[in-house]
Chains A and B, each alone.
Chain A
Amino acid sequence: MEFRQHTLDNGLEIVAECNDDAHSMGIGFFVRTGARDETDEVAGVSHFLEHMVFKGTPRRSADDVNREFDEIGAHYNAYTSEEATVYYASVLPECQEASVDILADILRPSLREDDFAMEKKVILEEIQMYADQPPFGMDDRIKELHYGDHPLSRSVLGTVESVGALTADQMRTYFESRYSPGNIVVAAAGRVDFDELIKQVGQRCDAWTPHDTPRTTTRPKSYNAFECVTRESSTQQYILQLADGPAAEDADRYAAKILATILGDDSGSRMYWDLVDPGLVETASLGHYEYQGAGMLFTWVSCAPEDAAENYMRIREILRTAEQSGFEAKELQQAQSKVKARVVLGSERPRNRLFNVGGNWMQRREYRSVATDVAAVDALTLDDIHAVLAKYPLTKATTVTIGPLSEFAAG
């Protein structure tokens, strides 16, 4: 296992964790852009652009892109978040150059008008699909309430109106402003030939012209609100809670992950024993998500509407008890065992390591091996967990509930 790094003259960075024992490799182009880099006029453009990137280039039609990826047996996709757009493929080592050739080419898309019009229909379908699924858009709503007008509150999908009104010209302008080589990291993991990778990426990306890609990363001021949204056609009631947590650059993010595991992992946590095991809820979980300048501790509960108010109180009680009395050593050890095993099991697949290697470099320009991550988890003490909870009290949260209830008695 060896970490390698190289930067092209135009600022594009290439990083890889090379493992000669792997059978396959994962490669991805990680672009530092997402919903937080948009304005109201172009809300949803990052995600729409992610789709358009697969629609072809001067030398490839949309059909060519799909066909050529399939011809090399690639498992490929892309995703867009609040702050990153990632294009990736898992391939056999002998397809390294072919995968670089397609990925590098599509990162300079044609954005043709007719493709734009056709793909807009698909995006609008995607928005409608999510509108029909829990939590029915409330994941966006809770960020708005919690972060106000901070860029992190922006919706990744956008709305039917904002996407409907987007023009191909607006997308081109956004593309030009964000897809600068200095704003892109090419990451790879698994059986990678790094010397060849430098050449392969260099040949195809050296001519990309760099320019500034500013981003606002001020820490958001957060608010605490409560909102009940009625949706009569739902069967279950959903409760979402958002509290502040450590950001991507904060050293206590590992403590936050263990905190979330002890309190709200999907098995063996306090929420599991108090709510899931007795069958009081369908799900109750707590997760930690990290962004530049902000972290989110996100609680998610779904249950029968008639039990929702009581379950809400139970959750508050779990959080209050934790804040007042802390945790036991055996809870910490159990969470550590679980998280360490997950890290090791997950690392056996190059495609999983890809997101770790690429994500760490994007967020912190840092490489972390599996051993480093395991050691960081091992080193945590109860004091670390208690400190993070004291700094980021989970009871200081924004709550949104959606379901058949017209009012919600939140004592």
Chain B
Amino acid sequence: MPASSALHDRPAHVHQFDNGLVLLAEPIPSMQSAALTLMTPCGYSTEPADRLGLSGMVCDMVLRGAGERDSRALINDLENLGVERGEAVGASQSSFSGATLAENLPEALSIFADIVRRPHLPNDQVEAARQVCLQEIHGVDDDPGQQVMIELRRRSYPEPWGRPSHGEEEGVLAVTAAEIKRHWALHYRPNGAILGVAGDIEWERLRDRVEELFGDWPSVPVQPTVERTPATTSPHIAFDSNQCHIGIAYPSTPYKDPNYIQAWAAVGILSGGMSSRLFTEVREKRGLCYTVNASLQTQRERARVLCYAGTTAERAQETLDVTYAELVRLGEGVEQAELDRLKARIKSSLIMQQESTSARSSAIARDWFHLGRVRTLDEVSQLVDDLTAESINAYLRDQPPRDFTFATLGPTPLQIPN
């Protein structure tokens, strides 16, 4: 008979090296795998305004040979180690992630150290990297749902925080080999970098290995970021499609704020399981669309709730009106039964997160980035237990959904609510 499931309280090990690099590790001895998440402070917010996409190009270039390996040897060796890898450029960070069998982690780590510290950045590969980045930009042109959300983020965040992570065609076309080298030298640095590891690892040996590989990585002075209000644009993009795509955003509370958990819970009630408000009101009761959702996306200093719905053109206005009305109604508060369901979902998510070393390595790295410390799953669980309908409603009274931004894309413009 299975016992009741539980969270294992495993405080993460933390070590900050003299150069600023923070190493975090959560040993999970029951796993065969180990995963790493390496964040370096080369986000899209660091790009010059006329070079949007530069961070993405650097991220592509660092994989084109590093240390003693050329481009082909680098990728092949990672694959021979069975590393499932991924790279992403966010607002503040470029992230490199990898998961593999635990015994291969030390060797994989040394390749990742080469990638961020000793990339060749070969001049003869710049055109290929540029083409890869342009392909990615053009791929989005045929994805109207993704396009509308890119436009929504651009309209909703102050510059440079709402930029598309893969940049823009003009910026990518303008990037030079020298700019790639300079951008790498400025933003691939240990001060501000975070390495999260989770899985079947032994802490002391891991720390020694990371010291060996990253301990003498020299730090670099930090460049300030300048914020500006976004350029004024029309909320509608004309597009030849069957469906109209609707995006609505409003400001919310970032992860580092003690009220984040209240904001997160409120959005969970709006759009969590299939009994959540948006799914019920827009899809189940009215059959207006197949996809409707909202999520809280947090950066370090600011956050937005981003909501999406896609529907055929003739029902788009009703979909927009009903969805918007639900966002406004959230400000009137949530009910206890809704919160109970949400808590059940969160609890099972937290427990299931322990079954993925990749999920844990990125979660602890994310915690450090936002909080400067790592929460254990027990601590998160306690925060969830402490949530009450009253606490969420107090938050919503103080900060109801408001100051909405809209973006629509489709054959005809819609009437935007005042």
Contact = CB atoms under 8 A, between A and B. Distances in A.
A233 B340 CA distance: 47
Interface in B101-158: 101, 127-136, 138-139, 141-145
Contacts of A91: 348
A23 B5 contact: yes
Contacts of B71: 277
B357 A348 contact: yes
A129 B345 contact: no
A303 B275 CA distance: 40
Contacts of A338: 79, 82
B5 A191 contact: yes
B2 A191 contact: yes
A126 interface: yes
B242 A131 contact: yes
B382 interface: no
B31 interface: yes
B339 to A, nearest CB: 11
Contacts of A302: 139
Contacts of A129: 242-243, 290-291, 310
B135 A348 contact: no
B274 A70 contact: yes
Given A128-B243, A279-B127, A193 B348 contact: no
B381 interface: no
B131 A236 contact: no
Given A94-B4, A126-B290, A132-B241, A337 B79 contact: yes
A282 interface: yes
From A63, A76, A122, residue with most partner B Cβ within 10 Å = A122
Interface string B360-397: 00000000000000000000000000000000000000
Contacts of B80: 333-334, 337
Interface residues of A, number: 74
Interface stretch (A31-39, A221-229, A339-347): A339-347
A92 B99 CA distance: 25
From A125, A191, A273, residue with most partner B Cβ within 10 Å = A125
B135 A303 contact: yes
Nearest to B338: A70
Contacts of A345: 33, 84, 99-100
A276 B290 CA distance: 33
B128 A278 contact: yes
A193 B1 contact: yes
A342 B127 contact: no
Contacts of A236: 138-139, 141-142
B16 interface: no
From B141, B275, B349, residue with most partner A Cβ within 10 Å = B275
A344 B101 contact: yes
A309 interface: no
Given A63-B280, A67-B275, A233-B240, A279 B130 contact: yes
Interface string A306-350: 000000000000000000000000000110011011101100111
Nearest to A265: B79
A333 B356 CA distance: 26
B: interface residue count bin: 35 or more
A23 B100 CA distance: 21
B341 A348 contact: no
A90 B350 CA distance: 13
A376 to B, nearest CB: 16
Contacts of A196: 1
B288 interface: yes
B352 A281 contact: no
Interface in A183-220: 191-193, 196
A70 B33 CA distance: 31
Contacts of A333: 80
Given A91-B348, A93-B2, A279 B101 contact: no
B242 A118 contact: no
Nearest to A117: B287
B128 A74 contact: no
B341 A71 contact: yes
B284 interface: yes
B344 A73 contact: yes
Interface in A52-111: 54, 62-63, 66-67, 69-76, 90-96
A388 to B, nearest CB: 21
Nearest to A120: B287
Given A23-B355, A191-B2, A273-B72, A344 B344 contact: no
A293 interface: no
Interface in A224-258: 233-236
A121 B85 CA distance: 40
A196 B1 CA distance: 8
A267 B78 CA distance: 10
Interface string A391-403: 0000000000000
Contact of A348 (B2, B31, B280, B289): B31
Interface in B315-351: 340-342, 344-349, 351
B142 A24 contact: no
Contacts of B218: none
A21 interface: yes
B175 interface: no
B88 interface: no
A168 to B, nearest CB: 15
Interface in B255-301: 272-276, 279-280, 283-291
Nearest to B272: A70
Contact of B82 (A21, A62, A340, A349): A340
A119 interface: yes
A91 B351 CA distance: 10
A388 B69 CA distance: 33
A62 B348 contact: no
A125 B275 contact: no
B131 A280 contact: yes
Given A66-B280, A93-B2, 8 more contacts: A23-B351, A66-B273, A92-B4, A267-B85, A277-B71, A341-B101, A342-B82, A345-B100
10 A-B pairs closest in CB distance = A279-B131, A341-B82, A121-B287, A73-B344, A73-B348, A235-B141, A70-B273, A93-B2, A282-B135, A66-B274
Interface of B: 1-5, 30-33, 71-72, 75-76, 78-85, 99-101, 127-136, 138-139, 141-145, 240-243, 272-276, 279-280, 283-291, 310-312, 340-342, 344-349, 351-352, 354-357
20 contacts: A63-B284, A70-B345, A71-B344, A73-B348, A75-B345, A93-B3, A118-B285, A118-B287, A121-B288, A123-B290, A128-B243, A129-B243, A131-B242, A133-B145, A193-B2, A234-B142, A279-B132, A282-B135, A282-B138, A302-B139
